[in-house]
Amino acid sequence: MDWYIGLDVSLESTTLCVVSAQGKVVKETAAPSEPEDLRNGSVHSADG
C-alpha cells in the first residue's frame, strides 16, 4: 500500500498527516517543533 506524508511545520508545532493512495487520511499527529520531540516520537494523535 502506498502512503503519502505531509508535514505542516511552524515555529511552535509540526503536524504530520498520512494519506493512503486512495486519498483516505490514515493518521494525523502533532508534536512541538523541537528536534528532540520529533526524533523521540513524542507525537500524539490530533484527534485526542
- Region class of 12: left (phi > 0), else alpha (psi between -120 and 50), else beta: alpha
Tens digits of residue pLDDT in 7-46? 999 999 999 899 999 999 999 988 899 888 777 765 555 5
What SS3 state is found at 47?
Answer: coil
pLDDT, residue 18, reads: 92
Cell of 25: 487520511
pLDDT, residue 36, reads: 84
pLDDT, residue 10, reads: 94
How is residue 41 annotated by DSSP? T
Backbone angles phi, psi at 38, to 5 degrees: -70, -40
pLDDT, residue 44, reads: 55
Q: Which band of pLDDT confidence, cut at 50, 70 and 90, is reported for residue 48?
A: very low
- Cβ burial of 25 (10 Å; 0-12, 13-18, 19+) is exposed
